[in-house]
């Protein structure tokens, strides 16, 4: 987070320097008398035909679509009977197990901020950055383990022993958290009869920091693995701007932004690494340790290796598709 704040300050500082240089150069070319009367007609940099609406500062108030999933998971888990009824699915066989598990998702985000400098009235260069975090946690309390295994005791050394008494941990836990820091540079083309349609072609670098934490209730061992990966993507976004005050000829003008869709492709995806770390976390969290000879419980046999998936899975997981990805505002000056 400290590094992110430093990047923000650096970008802001560079923008201020560039703007200061432009306007200081402009003022040096303008007669002092004209400055005080706001007459810049003799200056090619400051006169309205050139300087008006050359820069855009945009804020997207919506998070990336992946941040919506935790809310969906929470709603699905809490209302599983309603959803299964609508889908006409019989979950009576697994409903008793779902009642023993605590599944929760959460997210937070810092809205994406982008700065655009227009090279002319319709073409500009865009630079943007944002942050979002997504977390999923699966927890099984100690007292629920016997019901999940379907037995209260196991035979050890010729004696029946209560499972609860021999468990070394307090919870069976798997927690996965992901922090995304997307930075992009793009080409923005403003088109349409009224110059309000916005076409944005982007090249993005997305840093992904993911942490996988586990607690094994059978062995009592806790683990935490943190990985940083970088992805590269290209995308196209189609949107438009609504001028809030079309009849006002202000130096600074506010707009409302909407986007219809964004479609792209990850040239380098982090999905393979994320899948591998989560699979390893599940293996560590469910290892039976010294109880492997007494209990028949191995969830790993149902989780395939990434290499066993068809190539189409890699292609599909590399797609970047979002419907209505942007609702925000732009200050144009």
Do 78 and 61 reside in the same domain of the chain? yes
Q: What is the mean pLDDT of residues 285-301?
A: 77
The total of structural domains in the chain comes to 2
Q: Write the pLDDT tens digit of every residue in 167-204.
A: 888 889 999 999 999 999 999 998 887 778 999 999 99
Do 18 and 103 reside in the same domain of the chain? no
Which candidate, 148, 149, 73, 142, places its Cα nearest to that of 106?
Answer: 73
Task: Output the pTM of the full model.
Answer: 0.76
Contacts of 128 (CB under 8 A, 6+ apart): 58, 112, 113, 114, 115, 182, 183, 184, 186
Higher per-residue confidence, 155 vs 204: 204
Do 235 and 248 reside in the same domain of the chain? yes
Range scoring the smallest mean pLDDT among 28-32, 93-97, 126-130, 329-333: 28-32
Do 184 and 196 reside in the same domain of the chain? yes
The confidence score (pLDDT) of residue 35 equals 40
Do 250 and 289 reside in the same domain of the chain? yes
Q: What is the mean pLDDT of residues 57-76?
A: 83
The confidence score (pLDDT) of residue 19 equals 53
Do 118 and 8 reside in the same domain of the chain? no
The pLDDT-based confidence of 121 (bands split at 50, 70, 90) is: confident
The confidence score (pLDDT) of residue 49 equals 47
Do 45 and 60 reside in the same domain of the chain? no
Q: Residue 314 pLDDT more than 80?
A: yes
Q: What is the mean pLDDT of residues 143-170?
A: 83
The confidence score (pLDDT) of residue 17 equals 54
Q: What percent of the chain lies above the pLDDT cut of 90?
A: 40
Most confident region among 21-25, 97-101, 171-175 by mean pLDDT: 171-175
Give the DSSP letter of residue 28.
Answer: H
Q: Residue 239 pLDDT more than 60?
A: yes
The confidence score (pLDDT) of residue 6 equals 53
Do 121 and 229 reside in the same domain of the chain? yes
Do 10 and 61 reside in the same domain of the chain? no
Tokens representing 154?
């196991």
3-state secondary structure 38-104: CCCCCCCCCCHHHHCCCEEEEEECCCCHHHHHHHHHHHHHHCHHHHHHHCCCCCHHHHHHHCCCEEE
Where in the sequence is the domain holding 37, given as residue range(s)?
A: 1-51
């Amino acid at each position: 987070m400290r590094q992110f704040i430093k990047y923000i300050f650096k970008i802001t500082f560079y923008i201020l320097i560039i703007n200061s240089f432009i306007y200081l150069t402009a003022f040096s070319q303008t007669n002092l008398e004209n400055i005080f009367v706001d007459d810049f007609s003799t200056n090619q940099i400051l006169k309205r035909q050139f300087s008006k609406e050359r820069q855009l500062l945009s804020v997207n108030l919506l998070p990336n679509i992946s941040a919506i999933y935790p809310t969906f998971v929470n709603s699905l888990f809490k209302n599983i009977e309603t959803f299964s009824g609508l889908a006409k699915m019989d979950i009576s066989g697994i409903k008793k197990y779902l009642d023993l598990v605590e599944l929760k998702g959460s997210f937070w985000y810092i809205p994406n901020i982008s700065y655009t400098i227009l090279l002319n009235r319709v073409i500009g260069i865009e630079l943007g950055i944002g942050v979002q975090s997504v977390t999923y946690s699966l927890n099984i309390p100690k007292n629920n383990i016997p019901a999940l295994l379907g037995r209260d005791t196991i035979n050890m050394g010729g004696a029946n022993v209560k499972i609860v008494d021999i468990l070394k941990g307090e919870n069976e836990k798997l927690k996965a958290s992901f922090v995304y820091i997307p930075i992009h540079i793009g080409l923005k083309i403003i088109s349409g009869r009224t110059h309000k349609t916005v076409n944005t072609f982007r090249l993005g670098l997305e840093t992904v920091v993911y942490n996988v934490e586990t607690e094994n209730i059978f062995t009592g061992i806790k683990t935490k693995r943190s990985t940083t990966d970088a992805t590269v993507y290209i995308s196209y976004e189609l949107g438009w701007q609504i001028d809030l005050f079309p009849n006002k000829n202000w130096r600074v003008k506010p707009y409302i932004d909407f986007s219809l869709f964004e479609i792209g492709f990850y040239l380098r995806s982090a999905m393979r690494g994320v899948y591998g770390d989560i699979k390893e976390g599940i293996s560590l969290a469910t290892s039976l340790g010294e109880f492997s000879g007494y209990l028949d419980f191995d969830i790993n046999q149902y989780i395939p290796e990434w290499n066993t998936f068809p190539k189409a899975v890699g292609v599909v997981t590399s797609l970047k598709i979002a419907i209505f990805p942007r609702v925000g505002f732009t200050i144009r000056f």
